[in-house]
Amino acid sequence: MLPTLALAALAAAVPVLGSKDDAFNSHMHRDIIRRAGITSDVTQVSGKAFDFIIAGGGLAGLALAGRLSEYSNQTVLVIEAGSDGSDYANNIDIPGYSYINSLTRPNMPTDWQYQTVSQASAGGVQKRWPRGKLLGGSAAVNGLFWCRGDSGEYDDWAALNPGANQTWNWAEMQKYINKAEQFHAPPQAQATQFNMKYDASVHGTSGPIQAGFSQYIYPFTSNWIPAWNAMGLPAHDLADGSTRGVMITPSTLNPTNQSRVDSKIGYIDPLPPRANLFILTGQQVTGIVFNGTKDASGNVVASGVSFSAGSGQTVYSVQANKEVILSGGVVGSAQILQLSGIGPQTVLQPLGINTLVDLPVGHNLQDHASYTLYFNTQQIDNWQQFANNAGAQAQALTEWQQSSTGLWTYVNEAVGYISYADMMGSNASAATAAQALNLQDMANQVTQMHNLPTSVQAGLAEQYKLLQSRLQDNTGQLEIILTMWGSGPNNIGIQMGIQHPFSRGTIFINSKDAFTAPTIDPSYFSVGPDAQILTAGSEWVRNLAKAGPFAQQITGESGASVGLTGQALTTYATTQAGTEFHPLGTCSMLPRAQGGVVDTNLLVYGTNNVRVVDASIMPLQVSAHLMASTYGIAEKAADIIKQAHWKPPPPPQSSTAATTTEQESTAVPGQATDSAVANAERPASKGLSSTAKLGIGIGVGVGVGLLLAILAFLCCCRRKNQKKASDEKGWYAQGQTQDNGAWDTGAAYREQDSFAMGDVPGRPQRPFSTAPSISTMATHDLPGQGTISRSGSEYGNLGAGDLPPGASHGTDSPYRDYPTPGQNSGISTPQGYPQQYRD
């Protein structure tokens, strides 16, 4: 009996020493004994339990998964409706190829194929609304633009959430965007040729997302910045907090091999085997599972999610021990919440959906709307010629494969932003026009148009005040992009998009079927100065086309816009305009009394453990493409979640008093326990029977000597491990008392898991940061990307030798063989897919 009791004592002691609350394991990599990974085999996860379930494997979802799974004693499941993208390698990896052979073309399975309802103020027609449907999401199919908004725009987010628990302002967003970024300056010769201005000090240096510049830039682009300078606009790094001005912007590409870097490539592919991270593809989350339990504050507790491959197909479920996190984007996250009974009762009740929490999910939709003017030029090369020359494309592909150079490396990078004063001619004119806006009248129009709840009306009033203020400063109000895809030979396009629309739209489900697309109504140009800004911007662009070196290079405007002015130009511009791929706001981070869906911890109001982490939480538009901001949101969200669930180890005890630690059970895959409910309620342990107590007492009495010896030995080992761990890693012990200055309570969490592994057989070593990252709950920056391309994932498919039958290894090669493509799908004119230059 004595050996049995000794073993029992040891087993009881181990969880205390190595529990999930204990955030550090100095040998965590030894726990990684098999490879988890990416699979489409639903049997690998169905009916099992995970600590965190992430609905959506897009930009934010994979970034968040990479961060949360850094601790191997926390299990993470990502469920993605699309594929892993391996069948579309060229379209994803090769920058220029992804433009000409876009994955958002009609009928492509990598696009959700959304369409808006008819837009009464934008030509009375439906507009295509492409969104990426594959791992990496829209980051795998977009235009690669890496840019962030004006400092004042993020400060407005904070102003809309006064006194909040978490701060979301410029300083916070800048540091978290930089945590994601690894910036690469352009070669000096290229910077000189194209008048590039950049400030490396405002960029990140060791994040997982590489930001670099195209190896090939069309020579005509050298006129871009001088022309803007002639218009009085400065050239500077637009990442410095001021978006008014011009630059050649970085793109999310690896400058070493000139290939795209999305969230899969940056956050997942470089990982060594990580047994606690599962990524399921080809399955769409159909709803959040609530079992009727509420916490002490009356918030509903999610116990898991349901998912399926399609309408009428088998519906599966998994359980969430801790949280359900929605990263489905502006459409998907709103849709899942509404299907789950969280949304406007006026929308849910007619569909027969029980309203668990009446929230304005789907309101406050905002999008950048843009269109292009075309101009004839002197004899130049442009992309229109290249796109219609199969021989040139094949030759360029060979060059790209052999040297990572040539035309396939090109993407649009020439961009600038102008203020309202630039369009109106002076600061005084802009101020007069802005102050003349009738904010209440606009709010009334939106209220009538979309039946706004009272809370949303209150929030809209605050947003309008901020928008009115931004019209009177130097904030960028119109984005302007040079596109070398002209309407024909010797032709270029200049695209423009409004950045701060007063118009507001909605996204609402119209069916209980998760596979029926929701109703999308951005209500473009429906109120306020939106249309007038686009018209005034068009006139400014016409003047730009005559400025500086453009005066000699551009011979005149071309196409149906020639000669149009006033209302005729407005009608043309708004009819031609469509999404710039930057929608946000349907799950806005605002006070609940002002139409908020999530608080500043990104928790959905009225729920205990449901968060939203994607662009849908942004409450107000920014003068930038949304990719960098969304990475920043994911990085900050990871730290927020870690603060909520990872308890730091206490400092060494100076006395012999025992320290008790409240335990949280971690259900591993295979245990379908409802741990989320248990974690929410935290019930006290039940007592043992008298007989059991007597038996245990006798056993403990007999084995007390050995037990004390074992415990003393374990405590000694733990002290040694803690000392070693603190020397090697550093601990974060926020709120703990200092022990004679021996513990740095301000130190951030360091990498505690597989990112910190040493050499892994067969794994090419890549440099990565060993310093604390800039966040308050930091982990290591992920490994810097080397020459790996998308197919070089070391986090490939589930290993056939390590997991049940049915899964198979992905390719282990760090390079992909790119077969020579055929024709470019018959697309020969920009009208065939006018959105391919934007993200």
Instruction: List all residues 6 or more positions away from 625 whose beta carbon is below 8 Å from its beta carbon.
Output: 142, 143, 145, 146, 147, 580, 581, 582, 838, 839
Residue 446 · residue 504 · CB < 8 Å: yes
Tell me if residue 79 falls in helix, strand or coil: strand
**Annotated catalytic residue, options 203, 500, 582, 780:** 582
Element (H, E) at 721: helix 690-728
The identity of residue 837, as a single letter, is Y
Distance CA 671, CA 47 (A): 8
Question: What are the residues facing 285 on neighbouring strands?
Answer: 307
Q: How far is CA 268 from CA 57, 295, 341, 581, 781, in A?
A: 11, 34, 32, 24, 13
Give the closest residue to 310 by CA, choosing from 336, 285, 341, 339: 285
Distance CA 176, CA 628 (A): 9
Residue 782 · residue 207 · CB < 8 Å: yes
450 counts as catalytic: no
**Annotated catalytic residue, options 625, 645, 780, 809:** 625
Crossing angle for the helix pair 690-728 and 2-18, nearest 10 degrees? 50
Residue 217 · residue 190 · CB < 8 Å: yes
How far is residue 829 CA from its own chain's centroid?
Answer: 31
Dig out the tokens for 10 from the structure.
């040891």
Q: What is the DSSP string of 462-510?
A: HHHHHHHHHTTSS---EEEEEES--SSSSEEEEEEEESS-S--BEEE--
Residue 175 · residue 303 · CB < 8 Å: no
Backbone angles phi, psi at 791, to 5 degrees: -75, -5
Dig out the tokens for 430 from the structure.
């802009």
Residue 235 · residue 228 · CB < 8 Å: yes
CB atoms within 10 A of CB 170: 19
Instruction: List all residues 6 or more positions away from 2 whose beta carbon is below 8 Å from its beta carbon.
Output: 702, 703, 706
Question: What region does 669 belong to: left with phi over 0, alpha with psi -120 to 50, or beta?
Answer: beta
Backbone angles phi, psi at 63, to 5 degrees: -60, -45
Distance CA 826, CA 839 (A): 22
Round the CA-based radius of gyration of the chain to a whole number and report it.
28
The identity of residue 318, as a single letter, is V
Backbone angles phi, psi at 621, to 5 degrees: -70, 160
Q: How far is CA 366 from CA 371, 500, 579, in A?
A: 17, 8, 10
Give the closest residue to 668 by CA, choosing from 70, 72, 245: 72
E strand segments, 111-200: 114-115, 128-129, 181-183
CB crowding 176-213: b at 16 or more within 10 Å, else e: bbbbbbbbbbbeeebeeebbbbbeeebbbebbbbbbbb
809 counts as catalytic: no
Distance CA 525, CA 505 (A): 10
Distance CA 658, CA 674 (A): 31
Greatest extent of the chain over all pairs of C-alpha atoms, in Å: 100
| Residues catalogued as catalytic | 582, 625
